[in-house]
Amino acid sequence: AQSVTQLGSHVSVSEGALVLLRCNYSSSVPPYLFWYVQYPNQGLQLLLKYTTGATLVKGINGFEAEFKKSETSFHLTKPSAHMSDAAEYFCAVSESSSNTGKLIFGQGTTLQVKP
């Protein structure tokens, strides 16, 4: 069965510091991997996704993530945090063999950005 683990339910960084949000997955087949962001009282917005090809994926708002098969990881990074990055971040996986693309989400990581 697929699963996603996000290490650290809360991460706090200073404005301008590196952001690193960790995600590990479990999947019996090659995965599709996603990062979504959720601002308070809103739905989820896609930051980036990995399906095939280049393992370093660039997304919106300066975020990027690298698919590491050997480590079953898909960590999200941003070189310099902005106050506007404060939000809830979710990592998700779906099976490449799935007809529906059903997403399995992690528990989420709350990113706090301090001035």
Partner 1 sequence: DAGVTQSPTHLIKTRGQQVTLRCSPKSGHDTVSWYQQALGQGPQFIFQYYEEEERQRGNFPDRFSGHQFPNYSSELNVNALLLGDSALYLCASSPEYGGGHTQYFGPGTRLTVL
Residue 94 vs residues 16, 36, 111: alpha-carbon distances, Å? 32, 13, 24
Kindly indicate which of the ranges 15-23, 36-44, 54-62, 69-77 contains the residues binding partner 1, using the contact rule CB under 8 A.
Answer: 36-44
Helices (H), the chain: none
Nearer to partner 1, 13 or 32 (CB): 32
Interaction of residue 28 with partner 1, rule CB under 8 A: no
Cβ 17 vs Cβ 85: under 8 Å: no
- Out of 3, 14, 80, 98, the only residue in the binding site for partner 1 (CB under 8 A) is 98
Give the per-residue contact string, 75-94, with partner 1 (x = CB under 8 A; - = no): ---------------x-x-x
- Rounded CA separation 17/107 (Å): 24
Nearer to partner 1, 45 or 80 (CB): 45
Which distant-in-sequence residues (6+ apart) come within 8 Å of 73 by Cβ? 22, 23, 24, 25, 66, 67
Min dist. Cβ of residue 97 to partner 1 (A):
7
Where do we find the tokens 């990995």? Answer: 50
Where does this chain bind partner 1 (CB under 8 A)? 4, 32, 34, 36, 41-46, 49, 51, 90, 92, 94-108
